[in-house]
Amino acid sequence: MRAPAGVDEVLRYANDARILVVDDEPANTVLLERILRSFGHRQVTATTDPLEAWTLFEHGLRQHAPFDLLCTDLHMPGLGGLQLIERVTAATPQGDFLPILVLTADLQPAAEHEALVRGAQDFVTKPFRKEQIQLRVGNLLRTRYLHLQLRDHAGRLEELVRERTIELEAARLDALERLASAAEYRDHATGRHAQRVGLLAALVGERLGLPEEEVELLHRAAPLHDVGKIGIPDHILLKPGRLTDDEFSQMKEHVAVGSRLLSQGRSRLIVMAERIAAYHHERWDGSGYPRGLRGDDIPLVGQIVAVADVFDTLIHERPYKHAWPLAEAVEEIRRQRGRWFAPRVVDAFLALVAGRPELVTDLDGIVVGAVGGDDDAGDHARPVERPGED
């Protein structure tokens, strides 16, 4: 919080404030300008033509150098003072405060009322005295100054809140990326499988026409699909060869562990991550785990991540298999259409690969974020049960 405005500061502001004076009587504009300058106001613009006053006012707004005070006569040919006040008030940006001082010989209550209704703040009767002008102008400019201070302060606060929000969001996403990486760290600390799956799932989701917000959530949530591997013992997780039935059963537990870890999330992101963790090993034909769900009983995000997860595993090396060439891996996904994978998800994936194959092979180059672990589905789901490769 800044200290209250000092007298010097207000004075400096008042001396440099842009003042617009309009009165069709030249003697009045000359006198008023002289008085204002004698009180230290350096930026006084005076005119006897109200239409010119309006043009000057508009020009100031356009140039981001608005007037700080308008001193206007009421009875003028061409454009009356009331109309000028009305125009100026309407053109003043919302939330801005422009002081208007009316100089008039006509101080009938009706005229005063009209001027106030249209946006005038104060009156000086003609012929005016120097001290009156000094007092009224001083008060109005002080009010304008405080208004500007408040507006700046509110702007700074808003900016600060915006910065903090961005920082907080970045910290949250950072923490989630690191959690996904931690889950894979014991496995293969060299690659970035989790983040690649996130990006690929988002690309497929986009292709499927999911709303932008859902795609972004998918991008952030999918890397957590195997967070439950944290709960799998090393001798199973790190076993290079084929898993026994018992070991495989234990490996399947990573789905339940992941779902539990992510349960009761308070954000859409964590809620989606929980679904993905729970359903990414279900298969379209019902042969997956843990529930053996079939078709669209499997949530779409689970269907999408299943494809992204398996595909990325195929094209990267594992302790028990070589990396597959892209064409063979794509063929395998196609072959599993309607068996392992949802047909429309496979179609979206194939369209994606056909359009920009580099997208799915260069995911590492595209993903920006924390260091990830490597590889997954192959280690426990063993998607590529081909002779000689496991």
Residues that bind Fe ion (CB under 5 A): 226
Chain residue whose CB lies nearest Fe ion: 226
Taking the least distance from each CB to Fe ion, the nearer of 136 and 316 is 316
Q: How far is the CB of 379 from Fe ion (least distance, A)?
A: 8
Q: What secondary structure does DSSP assign to 172-183, as a single string?
A: HHHHHHHHHHHH
Taking the least distance from each CB to Fe ion, the nearer of 92 and 259 is 259
Taking the least distance from each CB to Fe ion, the nearer of 170 and 238 is 238
Residue 390: burial class (beta carbons within 10 Å; 0-12, 13-18, 19+): middle
Cβ neighbours of residue 316 closer than 8 Å, sequence gap 6 or more: 191, 193, 323, 374, 375
Taking the least distance from each CB to Fe ion, the nearer of 32 and 251 is 251
Taking the least distance from each CB to Fe ion, the nearer of 203 and 251 is 251
Q: How far is the CB of 64 from Fe ion (least distance, A)?
A: 57
Q: How many CB atoms lie within 10 A of CB 375?
A: 25
CA distance 175 to 370: 9
CA distance 68 to 140: 9
Q: How far is the CB of 150 from Fe ion (least distance, A)?
A: 55
Q: How many CB atoms lie within 10 A of CB 159?
A: 10
Structure tokens at 237: 């997780």
Taking the least distance from each CB to Fe ion, the nearer of 226 and 274 is 226
Q: How far is the CB of 377 from Fe ion (least distance, A)?
A: 6
Cβ neighbours of residue 112 closer than 8 Å, sequence gap 6 or more: 123
**End-to-end Cα distance, the chain:** 66
Taking the least distance from each CB to Fe ion, the nearer of 68 and 226 is 226
Q: How far is the CB of 225 from Fe ion (least distance, A)?
A: 6
Q: How far is the CB of 276 from Fe ion (least distance, A)?
A: 10
Q: How far is the CB of 165 from Fe ion (least distance, A)?
A: 33
What letter would DSSP give residue 14?
A: H
CA distance 279 to 238: 23
Closest CA to 301 of 335, 262, 355, 356: 262
